[in-house]
Amino acid sequence: MKDYSEPRMHTAEHLLNQAMVRLFGCSRAFSSHIEKKRSKCDYRFSRGLTAEETVELEKRVNEAVRADLPVRKDFISLREAAEKFDLGRLPEGTGDRLRIIVIGDYDACPCSGPHVSSTAEIGGFRIISSSFGNGVLRVRFKLGTAGPATKG
């Protein structure tokens, strides 16, 4: 997996992925680029988002942010993880145990990056644009003011 250096933005990516899964029934992003100022996620999708869908997607992520959900690390066996998660983005040579990031009862996903300890630390989430081409929906987003200090 990618090395992410921005815990707030990285945790927001998890929330966006789960909102996409819940709202559209699609898979999590197959590619992402996480930066401090703005980030983007790419999804296999059949079309672009409508303005109403964009508003709803942003609303759902912000609801999870405001819910102040705890973010914790669990460790499970690779075999157990394979039964629960898509492991297609794991790098080769992954060990026998995987770290799972659990965000309240909203999301759980294998991940090696740093995260905040609570979703309230993310601040406001805003979709700045989206585009569609060649079966790929790209969602670009940025965050508002940070909350309390973050941890890895």
Please write the tens of the pLDDT for every residue from 50-97.
Answer: 999 999 999 999 999 999 999 999 999 988 998 998 887 777 777 789
Cα 102 to Cα 39: distance, rounded to the nearest angstrom: 21
pLDDT of residue 146: 54
Cα 132 to Cα 2: distance, rounded to the nearest angstrom: 24
Query: How long, in residues, is the chain?
Result: 152
Cα 24 to Cα 54: distance, rounded to the nearest angstrom: 12
Name all domains of the chain by residue range, CATH numbers in brackets: 7-143 (3.30.980.10)
CB-based contact 142:126 (threshold 8 Å) = yes
CB-based contact 113:4 (threshold 8 Å) = yes
Instruction: Decide if pLDDT at 44 tops 80.
Output: yes
Number of H helices, E strands in the chain: 3, 7
What's the whole-number average pLDDT of the chain?
90
Please count the other Cβ atoms lying within 10 Å of the Cβ belonging to residue 117.
17
